Amino acid sequence: MGAKMSENKISENLLEDVNVGIPEEVEKAIIGLSEANNIKELRSTLEAMNPADAASALELLTPEQQVTVFLTLPKDIGAEIFTYVDSDIRVRLVQHIASPGTTDKIRQDFINMFEDLAADDAIDVLDELPANLVEELLSRCTKDRREQLNAILKYPPNSAGSLMTVEYIILPENMTVAGALAQIRRQGKRKETINYCYAVGSGRKLSGVLSLKTILLSDENVLIKDIMTSPVIFAYTHEDQEVVAAKVKKYDLQAIPVVDKEERMVGIITGDDIMDVVEKEDTEDFEKMAAMEPAKDEYMKSGIFVLARNRIKWLIILMVSSTLTGFIITRFNNLLASQVILASFIPMLMDTGGNCGAQVSTLMIRGMAVGDIEPGNWAMVVWKELRVALAVGAALCLANIIRMLLFVKELSLPVVLVVNVTLIIIVVFAKIIGCLLPMAAKQLKFDPALMASPMITTIVDAFALFIYFAVAQRILA
C-alpha cells in the first residue's frame, strides 16, 4: 500500500513522485508467484490488498492468470476489485465469460457480480467493451438491469445522463425523519451513496437535498421538507459534463442530482466521477493546445497509426499555412541577399514572438476554461496586455542589445536598430493576437484551445517576418 511509504522518502520526492503504486517488494513477490504459477498464493495475496492496489497487481500476471485468479476470488472482493481493473483485463474477462468453454457456475458468478455493480460503474465497463461483448453481457443480465443500463446508454456521450448512477435515495418531502431513517435502513445497502438524500414533491419532482448528517441529527418527528435545503443545484440529463463539473466546483458539491426536462429526479453524479471529468477535460485541452486531436486512449495503449492520425491533421494545416512566410521571404530576397546578416536574426525573432504569443494565449484559454476570464472583458484584457507587452518588450530589447554586443560579429548600429525595433513591434503584436484570438474563438463558439501556441506561432511568424523586412528596408536601404 502506498500509505506505507516512509515520511523521509516522501519529502525527498515532494515535487515529482506523484505515482502511488504498490511497493517494490510486494511487486517482486507477486511477479515471483506469477512465474511459479502459484494461483492459490496469488489469490490470497490479492484478497489481502486494497482493491485499487489489487487491480494494479493483476496487471503483473499473465493473461491466463489474470482470468483464473480473478474468477476464483470471493465474489464481494472480486466485485470491489473489478471497478478498478484496467480495461484490457475487463475485456479479457468478458471474452472468457462469453466463450463456450466456460462453466455455467463461473459465468453465473460473473454475471451476478456485474448485476451488483453500481450503475455508473457498470456503464464504465460497457463503455470499454467492443459492441458484440456489450450485447453478450447485457443479454445475460436480468430484464430490469438491462433496461436500467440501456436507459443510461441512450444519453449522448459526455452528457450528465451518461455519467449518472441511478442508485440514490429519494424521500417524499412530507415524510418524517423517523420514516426517512427507516427507509434509508431498508434501501441503503443497495445504493452506491447515501451521504445525500433527495427530497421529491408530487410526480418525483426534485425539491430539496439533505445530508445524511442532517437527517441523523434532527428530531424524529420533523418533516423532511422542514429540514431540506432548497432550492437545490442540479444538472439536466442532456447537459454537457463540463458544465456539470463547473457547477460542482462552483458550489463545492460532493454529488449533484440529475433531472429530466420536467425536473423529475432520474439520477446522481458522484464526486469521483466529476474528478475524472475534470482530469479528462484538462488532458483534452493540453492535447488541443499542442495541435493534436484529443486521444481516446491512454498513450501507452494507443497504436502507432492512431497516434500518427491524431497529430497529422494540424501539422499539415500549419505547414501549408507557412507557405505565407515563404512568400514573404521570397519577396524580400534582394534585401536578404544584400544584407545576409539579417537572416541570422530570423529564428530569434520568430521564436520570441511565438513564445510571447503562447504565454498570453495559454493564460486566456485556461482562464476561460476555469471561468476567471470572460470574452466580454476583451477591451480590459487588451489594455492590460498592451502595457505588459511594452514592459516585456523593453526588457527583452535590453537583454537583446547586450546579447548582440557580446556574441554577434560585424555589428552595425542600423542592424541593431532594425532588430530591436522589430522585436518590440513583434512582442506587442504577439501579446495582442494571443489574447484576442482565443477570446474571439470562444465568442464565435469555437473551442478556444485551438487558438493556442501552434496557431498563434504561425500567425506571429508571418507577421514578424513582414515587419522585420519592412523595417529593414526603411532603415537599411
Contact positions with its own copies (CB under 8 A) in 122-161: none
Taking the complex as a whole, the smallest distance from the CB of residue 96 to its own copies amounts, in Å, to 26
Interface with its own copies includes 366 (CB under 8 A)?
A: yes
Q: Which of 18, 131, 413, 477 binds its own copies (CB under 8 A)?
A: 18
Q: In angstroms, rounded to a whole number, what is the distance separating the alpha carbons of residues 136 and 247?
A: 37
Task: Identify which of residues 96 and 159 has a Cβ nearer to its own copies in the complex.
Answer: 159
| H or E segment and range at residue 210 | strand 206-211
Q: In angstroms, rounded to a whole number, what is the distance separating the alpha carbons of residues 87 and 130?
A: 11
Q: Are 291 and 313 in contact (CB under 8 A)?
A: no
Taking the complex as a whole, the smallest distance from the CB of residue 287 to its own copies amounts, in Å, to 7
State residue 62 phi and psi, 5-degree precision: -75, 160
Taking the complex as a whole, the smallest distance from the CB of residue 191 to its own copies amounts, in Å, to 8
Q: In angstroms, rounded to a whole number, what is the distance separating the alpha carbons of residues 353 and 431?
A: 9
Interface with its own copies includes 461 (CB under 8 A)?
A: yes
Sign (positive or negative) of CA dihedral 186, 192, 194, 197: negative
Taking the complex as a whole, the smallest distance from the CB of residue 459 to its own copies amounts, in Å, to 11
Q: In angstroms, rounded to a whole number, what is the distance separating the alpha carbons of residues 270 and 117?
A: 15
Scan residues 299-338 and list those touching its own copies (CB under 8 A). Answer: 299-300, 304-305, 307-308, 311-312, 314-316, 318-320, 322-323, 325-327, 329-330, 333, 336-337
Q: Are 171 and 207 in contact (CB under 8 A)?
A: no
Three-class DSSP category at 47: helix
| C-alpha grid cell, residue 308 | 500518427
Task: Identify which of residues 107 and 225 has a Cβ nearer to its own copies in the complex.
Answer: 225
Interface with its own copies includes 408 (CB under 8 A)?
A: yes
Sign (positive or negative) of CA dihedral 238, 120, 258, 295: negative
Scan residues 230-259 and list those touching its own copies (CB under 8 A). Answer: 231-234, 236, 238-240, 242-243, 245-254
Scan residues 28-67 and list those touching its own copies (CB under 8 A). Answer: 50, 52
| C-alpha grid cell, residue 150 | 440501456
Scan residues 183-212 and list those touching its own copies (CB under 8 A). Answer: 184-185, 188-189, 193-195, 211-212
Taking the complex as a whole, the smallest distance from the CB of residue 160 to its own copies amounts, in Å, to 10
CB under 8 A: which stretch of 34-42, 92-100, 145-153, 369-377 binds its own copies? 369-377
Q: Which amino acid is at 82?
A: F
Interface with its own copies includes 411 (CB under 8 A)?
A: no
Task: Identify which of residues 40 and 249 has a Cβ nearer to its own copies in the complex.
Answer: 249
